[in-house]
Amino acid sequence: MANGEHDGELKKQIEGLKAAIARSRRLCVFSGAGISCPSGIPDFRSADGIYNQPGLEGYSPEQIISHSFLELRPELFFEFYRSRLVYPDAKPNGAHIYFAKLESPSRHVDVVTQNIDGLHSAAGSTHVIELHGAVARNYCVRCGKRYGLEYILSTSGVPHCDCGGMVRPDVVLYEEPLDENVIYEAIDAISHADTMVVVGTSLTVYPAASFTGYFRGDVLAVINRDPTPLDRYADFAIYGDAAEIARQLAE
C-alpha cells in the first residue's frame, strides 16, 4: 500500500472509531503495556522489552518475577523489582488522559488493564480494574498490613513489616492465580460494553487475553504497534503509537 493510501486508510479508521466512541454509552478500554511505553515504561516482549533485557546472576527476568523465586531468592527478586518494574516518576501520557476524559454523565467507561503502573487512575479514570495488581499496593504476608510504594523504595534488600513479616507487592507473579473477584469484575465490564477498545497489548498473556472473548457489543477496535490475534474480528485495527493515535482521536 502506497503512503498516500495508507494515510487515507488510517484517517478513515480513526474517523470511524471516533464516531463509534461518540455513540457509545458503555465503553470498555482493555489495555496492556504498550499504552504506557510513551510514558517511559518498557513493555515486556518487544526487542527492547523487559524480557529481552539481561537478568540477574544468570536468571532470566521471567524466572525472577515468579512466586517460587520470591520465596527462594527474595533479595534478588527485590533488586530486580525495584530496578526494572517500578517507575515512580512515570506520568500518564496522552492515551491514558484521552480515555479518562471520555467519562461523562452519558458515557460509562470501564478500564480493564494488565498493567501494574497505576497510570490510568493517575490520569483520572474512576473505574479501573487491575488484572495483575498494582505496584502502589503492598502488604505483609504475615499480618496483612498495607504499605505504599514509597515504603518499598525507601528500604533496601527484603522489606519487612513491624511484625517481622515480609512486605511484598500486591501484583500477580508467575505461578500465581488472578484474583477471582477481579476476574468477575473484568468479565462483567467487558460483557456489558457496547464498544471495546483494546490498546497496547499483543494479547498473548493468558488468562487475561481470553477475557476479550466475553465482548458481545457493537464495535470492537484494536490499537497496537503490531498486529494481534484479535484484528480479524475487529471493526477497526489501527497500528501505531498509542499516545499518537489517542491524539488524533481527540482532535
Print the domain residue range for 199: 1-41+91-132+177-251
Share of the chain above pLDDT 90, in %: 87
Number of structural domains in the chain:
1
Give the confidence band of 46 by pLDDT, cuts at 50, 70, 90. low
220 domain-assigned:
yes
Q: Is pLDDT above 60 for 130?
A: yes
CATH code of residue 124: 3.40.50.1220
Whole-number pLDDT of residue 204? 85
In a domain? residue 102: yes
Task: Confirm whether 55 is domain-assigned.
Answer: no
Express each pLDDT in 196-240 by its tens digit. Answer: 999 999 998 888 889 999 999 999 999 999 999 999 999 999 999
Closest among 220, 234, 87 to 149, alpha carbons compared: 87
Lowest-pLDDT range of 134-143, 150-159, 175-184, 202-211: 202-211
The reported pLDDT for the residue numbered 50 is 75
pLDDT score recorded for residue 3: 57
Enzyme catalytic residues: 132
Question: What is the rounded CA–CA span in Å between residue 134 and residue 182?
Answer: 13
247 in a structural domain:
yes
Q: Is residue 161 part of a domain?
A: no
Query: What is the value of pTM for the model shown?
Result: 0.94
Residue 43's pLDDT band, with cuts at 50, 70 and 90, is confident
Considering the domain boundaries, does residue 34 fall inside one? Answer: yes
35-62 average pLDDT score: 83
Within-domain flag for 215: yes
Q: Is residue 208 part of a domain?
A: yes
pLDDT number for residue 197: 98
